[in-house]
Amino acid sequence: MGEKMRAVDIKGGTGPATSLFISDAIPKPTAGTGQAVVKIKAFGLNRMDLLQREGMYPVPPQGGKILGVEFSGHIESLGDGVKEGFKIGDAVFGLAYGGAYAEYIAVSTHMLLHKPEHLSWEEAAGIPEVWITATQAMYPVGEFTKGKSILWHAGASSVSIAGIQLSKAAGASAIYVTAGSQEKIDFCVKELGATAGFNYKTQDWAKEILKATNGQGVDLVIDFVGQSYFQGNLDVAARDGHIVNLGFMSGTKLPAGVDIGAFIRKRLRYEGSSLRSRDPDYQGRLRDKLEEYMPQFQDGTFKVYVEKVMPWEKVVEAHQLMETNATKGKIICTIS
């Protein structure tokens, strides 16, 4: 029998947060061609983990059953044909198709980055998924260019926190957000530099954004909510606007009476996208873009916002915390 390792498993294969447990009987991965085995120090939680745990996420074939796509740690071993510049012992962080809730992960070296000394293990583990997702939504999908305006829904979510910072650095003419509390809106505006924010619980955010833009709307909308925001997104999109949908937190079935006239009247594009289903070459190009950001993490232009760090023995509580939708930034688990 091969070596075993500890990893987070799910009782019954799928279930609520309380079904998570740490198993010590998971086969330890070995490095294939082009891969490194990384001994994980920390991993980041993402909303897709909650969906996958409940059997509601289309996991790509190479993803496996172990949750988690972003991590930091040391390279323990290398396979043949790996990317130049990596050696055993290197401190790295990266993105995987799955398997990060574990002591060890086998991952393509093309999806690894060297961890800068100024970033903690916890900060590094919270970068790959969210910053690459935000980059993908803005650029290859959303076709953002300097001077465009942008709306980030779920403004205090990790992806939007990254997106607001990217938008500001890239010269957006205005950055709007929606969020569910004044505290989150103040964070997005005062801490991150968004232009204005709107409370979806107490305001008609679509009407308020149209008012703020003198009826012009916004050029690019990044949405994670789906059904309940569909009409509002059509209403606030500017002429020739682009709506990028990354999730369906409110569901996928539209109610009767939705008016799609804006598609033609305003020449809109509504485009869905995901990162995890993309091929390695596509993900690799985004990884290279992330590497270009490293100096901005060092000079303080970009910041990693970590809401809470928990030992992985508390992974149940970590998932339950994410389910509250009360956090601002990443939830990170550490492995000792």
Question: Tens of pLDDT along 231-243?
Answer: 999 999 999 999 9
Pair (14, 109) in one structural domain:
yes
Q: Tokens 């569909």 — which residue?
A: 230
CA 324 – CA 189 distance, rounded (Å): 22
Domain count, the chain: 2
pLDDT of residue 196: 98
Pair (146, 72) in one structural domain:
no
Pair (261, 139) in one structural domain:
yes
Pair (151, 231) in one structural domain:
yes
Q: Is residue 292 part of a domain?
A: no
pLDDT of residue 2: 80
Average pLDDT score over residue span 217-223: 98
Q: Is residue 280 part of a domain?
A: no
Confidence class of residue 59 from pLDDT cuts 50, 70 and 90? Answer: very high
Pair (190, 312) in one structural domain:
no
Q: What is the pLDDT of residues 83-110, one digit of tens each?
A: 999 999 999 999 999 999 999 999 999 9
Return the beta strands (E) in 139-264 as ranges: 149-152, 174-179, 196-199, 218-223, 237-245
Question: Is 300 exposed, middle or buried, given 0-12, 13-18 or 19+ CB atoms closer than 10 A?
Answer: exposed
- Give me the amino acid identity at 134: A
pLDDT of residue 239: 98
Confidence class of residue 50 from pLDDT cuts 50, 70 and 90? Answer: very high
pLDDT of residue 1: 56
User: What CATH number should be reported for the domain holding residue 101?
Assistant: 3.90.180.10
Q: What is the pLDDT of residues 111-121, one digit of tens each?
A: 999 999 999 99
Pair (154, 258) in one structural domain:
yes
DSSP per-residue codes, 116-154: PTTS-HHHHHTSHHHHHHHHHIIIIIT---TT-EEEESS
CA 323 – CA 335 distance, rounded (Å): 22
Instruction: Report the mean per-residue pLDDT for the chain.
Output: 97
Pair (143, 209) in one structural domain:
yes
Pair (85, 137) in one structural domain:
no
Q: Which two tokens stand for residue 300?
A: 């303080």
User: What CATH number should be reported for the domain holding residue 157?
Assistant: 3.40.50.720
Q: What is the DSSP letter of 102?
A: B
Distance, first Cα to last Cα, the chain: 25
Pair (201, 225) in one structural domain:
yes
**For residue 31, what are the domain limits?**
4-127+304-334
Q: Is residue 290 part of a domain?
A: no
Q: Is residue 278 part of a domain?
A: no
Nearest to 249 by CA among 84, 56, 93: 56
CA 288 – CA 174 distance, rounded (Å): 27
Pair (35, 118) in one structural domain:
yes
pLDDT at residue 151 greater than cutoff 90: yes
Q: Which two tokens stand for residue 269?
A: 């594009």
Percent of the chain residues topping a pLDDT of 70 = 100
Pair (65, 155) in one structural domain:
no
Q: What is the pLDDT of residues 267-321, one digit of tens each?
A: 999 999 999 999 999 999 999 999 999 999 999 999 999 999 999 999 999 999 9
Buried/exposed code over 20-46 (b: 16+ C-beta within 10 A; e: otherwise): bebeeebebbebeebbbbbbbbbbbbb
Q: Is residue 69 part of a domain?
A: yes
Q: Is residue 288 part of a domain?
A: no
Pair (178, 228) in one structural domain:
yes
Q: Is residue 283 part of a domain?
A: no
Q: Is residue 284 part of a domain?
A: no
The length of the chain is 336
